[in-house]
Copies of this chain bind each other. A is one copy, B any other.
Amino acid sequence: MLDETLLALADPTRRAILSRLARGEARVTDVAKPFAISLNSVSKHIRMLERARLVRRRIEGREHFLALDPTPLDEAADWIAAQKTLWAWRLGELEKALTDG
């Protein structure tokens, strides 16, 4: 799932959609309104966010309400945090080696 999560987050439009949804549940049209791109594109972006499990959809008649699901963010944050630790350790060793030499 990490692939889909990071791929979904790698687009500024999708990140903006997530920021919008962080202010509260919204319909597809509401989400699309601030963007200059077509509603179709927004719909596709939302589908990618759903595939990444970052967004859930609740259908009421013709209206589709979107809400955030923060769960996948944890996995992404964990991976990045782990890498930062590893890299910092490695660079620290390198620094030490340079200092000793």
Contact = CB atoms under 8 A, between A and B. Distances in A.
Interface size class of A (residues with CB under 8 A): 20 to 34
A22 interface: yes
A66 interface: no
A84 to B, nearest CB: 5
A77 interface: yes
A93 B48 CA distance: 26
Interface string A1-28: 0110011011110010011001110000
A71 to B, nearest CB: 10
Given A6-B6, A6-B10, A10-B7, A88 B70 contact: yes
A39 interface: no
